[in-house]
Amino acid sequence: MPAQLRKPLRNLIFVAFVEPVAGDAVFPRTDWPLHITLVRFDAGSPDSADAADRVAALADAPARAALGARLAVAEDAAFGRNGSVAVSLVEPHPALQALHEALVQTVAAVEGRILTPRHTLSGYRPHVSHHGTGPGLKRLNPGDAVVLDRIALVDMAPDGDHTIRRVLRLWTLDPGKETA
């Protein structure tokens, strides 16, 4: 297809929040709540909710199946270019790995494009990036326990605005706090 006829894709991400977050949350790109990235991808077109709706519907069963898994935080590591991103690794867990793999399959089913394919499936290393510095540092520590209780689909550029993020769908252990 000629480049001028291609529509830009919608940038989406599945995460498991480890901090409280509302189902309709909007937050700055620079101030994410602490989370485990499950899979980041592009799908559909930015002017349509259809791709997000389809992927959320396909993710419903695996997300619900993973809720309640008890995870443990492992040692710190350095990710990214030149090890510039401090992270807390999350111990491997069958429910977390199964969720990740199911979400990768969901993205494939909607003909999405995974942005970091080297970091999926057998290359998946669950982690929580540290956020901030000094007294404002947010992070998890080795030995911390985390319950997988908030899984979300997040729009990385709602309405084309790359400075904010918006929770599109939230699955929780408390159905009263979920969004559809």
* 94, 96, 100, 105 alpha-carbon torsion, rounded to 10°: 50
The class of domain 10-172 in CATH terms is alpha beta
Tell me the mean pLDDT in the region 167-180: 86
Tell me the mean pLDDT in the region 104-114: 94
Retrieve residue 121's tokens: 């499936």
Tell me the mean pLDDT in the region 155-175: 93
Tens of pLDDT along 91-101?
999 999 999 99
Tens of pLDDT along 20-50?
999 889 999 999 999 999 999 999 866 656 8
Contact 73, 12 (CB under 8 A): no
pLDDT band at 1, cuts 50/70/90? very low
Between the alpha carbon of residue 141 and those of residues 11, 38, 55, 145, the distances in Å are 30, 20, 32, 9
Tens of pLDDT along 62-100?
999 999 999 999 999 999 888 889 999 999 999 999 999
**What pLDDT was estimated at residue 119?**
92
Going from N- to C-terminal start, the domains of the chain cover: 10-172
Q: What is the mean pLDDT of the chain?
A: 91
pLDDT at 55 over 80: yes
